[in-house]
Structures are given as structure tokens and as C-alpha cells.
Amino acid sequence: MNATIQYNSRKLQINLKKPIDISIPLRASEKNVRAWYVDAPRIEPVEDGEWKIAVKNGACINFNNVSFNPHAHGTHTECAGHITEKVHSINEHLKEFFFLAEVITVAPERLNGDSVISEKQIKFALGNKKRDAVVIRTIPNTLDKLSMHYSHTNPPYLLEDAAIYLREKGIKHLLVDLPSVDKEKDECMLLAHNAFWNTSGKLRLDASITEFIYVPNKVKDGEYFLNLQIAPFENDAAPSKPILYEVIG
């Protein structure tokens, strides 16, 4: 089913029957993707004495507790409250959910022993396109990203100049297939986070960063309509489910 959407000054035609889910599901498993030195998430029946409340144990319902960390255990969207002293909630500040997005593929460069994404690379990939959101897929892009344990691996990250460029270009929503836009161990400088949210100037509370996505190889680079869905957590970050729709006209 095709739908025509008026978006700013453009009429976009998208195919609602072919959503592209770029989130990573949360699983109570050692194979769940994770980072930041935490154990696997847990999904367990509530216990009432010796009774675990699950249908397989004779209950009429399944009634589970879920224990996880939004930043460490899967696809999540965060606001500037992630790095500010004042508490800011993603649920409070993300009030629009549909955006024109560009999917780009980047091969991180080597710099001082690290793998990094530079301003030059993003500028080349985006050109003069005007977008609200940028979705960065890094290569190699293997299925290992769905179950990778990133702690102590020094994964790729964005250089500060890349984050500044995205901010100055007017990108409000940045999505990456990495555990963080910043280096794993950077003495808490968080250069890309700070640059993107402009913490040294007017704080961009309406801007978001989504980490731990996975963009399948069959998805081509280019323009998409993004539905950025979040769980309504009053927290700096919340589990999210970004969905892409191909723009066909």
C-alpha cells in the first residue's frame, strides 16, 4: 500500500507495506548484543514464594520482570540528558517521530590505532542533501553486529569534527550501528556527544542520537522516510524501534 505524505514542502510517496526495521531486539540471552561491561539482560517470571508465574508452571498468564540497561543492551535513542547534569528525558523532548533520512555507508578510517568516522567521509556521503536524520551503516556489516559483545574492543566512533559537521548541517537525529558515537575509553570527554548536542552553546534538546541499530546489506544507501519509535521512558534514553520506508516518488 503506497501512501502520499506532505512533508514540509514536498509530497513523498512511500510503501507502507515494506517497513525496514533497523532495531536490534532485546533477548534474555548471552547472545544479546551488549557493551559497557554489563551482564546479559534478564526476562524472568515473577516469583510468588516457590511459584514462578508462567503458563508452563500452571499459571493462567505469563508475568515477567525485565532487567536491562537501555544504553548497553540494544537499540536505544538518547537525548542531551545523557551527558548533562540537569536531568532531561527523551520522552519529554522527542515530540516528533517522522523524519526525512539519508542512509549512508562508511568504512571507518584508521587513526592512531583507532577506527574512526571523519567529517570528510560524512561530507562526501551526504553531499548537498538536506535531511533531518542520518543513518550511518559501517562496514564490514556482518550479522555479528546482532550479538556482538563490545566491551574492551575499542569499536569505531565518530571524530568530533564529524559531529560538528552534522550539527552545523542541521541534522537533528543521528543513528549509528555502533554502541556509541564516542570512543569506548576517552577519559569521559565524549567529544562527539558534546559536539552534536552543542553543550558549549545553545543545547539541542530536540536532537537525538540512536545507537545499536543494524541496517541489512540489502538496504541501499539513499533517501528514506524514518519513523523513530521510542518506549515512553522518563529517562535520558529509551529502547527504540526505528523504521525506514523507501521513498518511491
Dist. CA 143–CA 146, nearest whole Å: 6
Task: With beta carbons less than 8 A apart as the criterion, state whether 231 and 197 touch.
Answer: no
| Look-up of cell digits 536524520 | 133
Dist. CA 160–CA 53, nearest whole Å: 49
SS3 145: helix
Which residues, other chains included, contact 22 with Cβ-Cβ below 8 Å and sequence gap of 6+? 75, 135, 175, 213, 214, 215, 216, 219, 242, 243, 244
SS3 42: strand
Q: So what's the pLDDT on residue 48? A: 87
Task: With beta carbons less than 8 A apart as the criterion, state whether 73 and 27 touch.
Answer: no
Please give the domain boundaries of the chain with CATH numbers for all domains.
2-26+70-246 (3.50.30.50)
Cell of 221: 544507501
Q: So what's the pLDDT on residue 181? A: 98
Dist. CA 63–CA 43, nearest whole Å: 10
Task: With beta carbons less than 8 A apart as the criterion, state whether 162 and 117 touch.
Answer: yes
Give the orientation angle of helix 119-126 with respect to helix 160-168, to 10 degrees. 40
pLDDT per residue rounded down to tens, the chain (249 residues): 788 888 888 899 998 999 999 999 999 999 999 999 999 999 999 998 888 999 999 999 999 999 999 999 999 999 999 999 999 999 999 999 999 999 999 999 999 999 999 999 999 999 999 999 999 999 999 999 999 999 999 999 999 999 999 999 999 999 999 999 999 999 999 999 999 999 999 999 999 999 999 999 999 999 999 999 999 999 999 999 999 999 987
Q: So what's the pLDDT on residue 50? A: 84
